[in-house]
Amino acid sequence: MSPRRLSLIFATFLLVSFLTGIAGALQAPTLSLFLTNEVKVRPLWVGLFYTVNALAGIVISFLLANYSDKQGDRRKLLFFCTIMAIGNALVFAYSRDYLVLISVGVLLAAIGNASMPQLFALAREYADRSAREVVMFSSMMRATLSLAWVLGPPISFMLALNYGFTLMYLCAAGVFVFSALMVWFFLPSVGRVEQPVDTVVVHVSAWKNKDVRLLFFASLLMWTCNIMYIIDMPLYITADMGLPEGLAGLLMGTAAGLEIPVMLIAGYLVKRTGKHRLMLFASAFGVLFYLGLILFQFKAALMLLQLFNAVFIGIIAGIGMLYFQDLMPGRAGSATTLFTNSISTGAILAGVLQGTIVENFGHYQVYCVALALAIVALLLMWRVKNV
């Protein structure tokens, strides 16, 4: 294949990553506000929604990952997931019924959200086939995803607060349509490579590997902290601090913008420092971030703390997935999905914890719990071997 053709395909991967990210970034940041203000449910039911959504995501993504790892054409599955994401955005655009959203909406969201791990798994397999630098290419894709989150949250809050949630979700559906067209017409199909017998044995026993388990639970706790913050922050800064609702989008966008150089620098440094050292560094910054949220509660401090948040999330999002893949060689789909499911499981805990804590104690206590979980995650990450 010509270098020009290869460059076009890699550029398409980056574009699809950006489009999928921007569509998700239009929907996710305002979800807690949508459920609170539009659907008008209590904090406990907001948390329950995130929990059910995460549970459905785990089941669906594992089923799809096993299917894609065994059956082949990952591109067609990616296209199907993107179509389901369009349906999900349309349901949220026109329904304000909590039962419809937590059933039909959650099912479509679970299938649609599987598009991201499938996209990264397809990119990993294609990069391996074309002998490209996997770590740097994955970091570039993560950086485009972060760029989407720079633009998405401020646009999301602007659309929702000024024009309504219906238009916001319709815009997300439109972006998913464009993404689906790019997947169908431009992304390649990558055939499966049969693994030798000794590698298959490793696949079966991957979860028995202590380092896989430690990495999973450390990642789970770190994402629990992050998702508790994402759920609670838009409500916290308005209800307790009296700050404008639009600030939440600015904070999320600032963090995402800072994540881009963090991811690129991490991708460059990983060969020198190793994944383990970078993940420890990120975990420590996570502890400092949540400590800062407890100590400081004014706008300037919240903006400055996004640097710590960016280092925390930028590294665990970019390097964490590759860490799983290296611990589970030859099974990119399942390793990527295991990483994604650490996020989904974190969302289960985050939904339960955030809803219960706010219902019984208030928003401030959410960040005290997040700090404790971040410290435990740091201790677990300390015990994972370097690869």
Write the pLDDT tens digit of every residue in 69-84. 676 678 889 999 999 9
For residue 288, which of 214, 370, 218, 215 has the smallest C-alpha distance?
A: 370
pLDDT, residue 222, reads 96
Half-sphere exposure for 107 (CA within 13 Å, toward CB) = 4
Provide mean pLDDT across the span 123-146: 75
Distance CA 127, CA 137 (A): 8
Show the tokens assigned to 179.
């993404």
pLDDT band per the 50, 70, 90 thresholds, residue 196: very low
Residue-range domain boundaries for the chain: 3-188+207-382
The model's pTM: 0.78
Which is more confidently placed, 73 or 248?
248
Provide mean pLDDT across the span 278-288: 95
Provide mean pLDDT across the span 349-373: 93
Provide mean pLDDT across the span 80-103: 96
Cα 337 from chain centroid? 11
What is the tens place of the pLDDT at every residue in 148-182?
A: 888 999 999 999 999 999 999 999 999 999 999 99
Show the tokens assigned to 133.
């630098």
234 pLDDT more than 80: yes
What is the tens place of the pLDDT at every residue in 11-38?
A: 899 999 999 999 999 998 899 999 999 9
pLDDT, residue 205, reads 54
pLDDT band per the 50, 70, 90 thresholds, residue 90: very high
Average pLDDT of the residues of the chain: 87
Q: What letter would DSSP give residue 188?
A: P
Distance CA 190, CA 75 (A): 8
- Region of 296 (left: φ > 0; alpha: ψ -120 to 50; beta: rest) is beta
CB 187 within 8 A of CB 9: yes
Cα 278 from chain centroid? 19
200 pLDDT more than 50: no
Cα 282 from chain centroid? 16
CB 25 within 8 A of CB 156: yes
pLDDT, residue 72, reads 63
Q: Does domain 3-188+207-382 have CATH number 1.20.1250.20?
A: yes
Provide mean pLDDT across the span 118-130: 81
Provide mean pLDDT across the span 369-382: 96
**Helix (H/G/I), strand (E/B), else coil: 39:** coil
Least reliable range by pLDDT among 164-173, 228-237, 265-274: 265-274
Residue 227 vs residues 134, 135, 230, 374: alpha-carbon distances, Å: 28, 25, 5, 12
Q: What is the tally of helices (H) and strands (E) in the chain?
A: 16, 0
Show the tokens assigned to 287.
């502890």
Which is more confidently placed, 197 or 264?
264
Distance CA 296, CA 98 (A): 35
pLDDT, residue 142, reads 77
Which is more confidently placed, 227 or 141?
227
pLDDT band per the 50, 70, 90 thresholds, residue 197: very low
Cα 19 from chain centroid? 14
Least reliable range by pLDDT among 8-12, 231-235, 324-328: 324-328
pLDDT band per the 50, 70, 90 thresholds, residue 201: very low
274 pLDDT more than 50: yes
Please state, for a pLDDT cut of 70, what percent of the chain lies above it. Answer: 90
Distance CA 365, CA 354 (A): 9
DSSP string, 72-132: --HHHHHHHHHHHHHHHHHHHHH---HHHIIIIIHHHHHHHHTHHHHHHHHHHHHHHHTT-
Best-predicted range by mean pLDDT (154-168, 177-191, 309-323): 154-168
Provide mean pLDDT across the span 291-302: 92
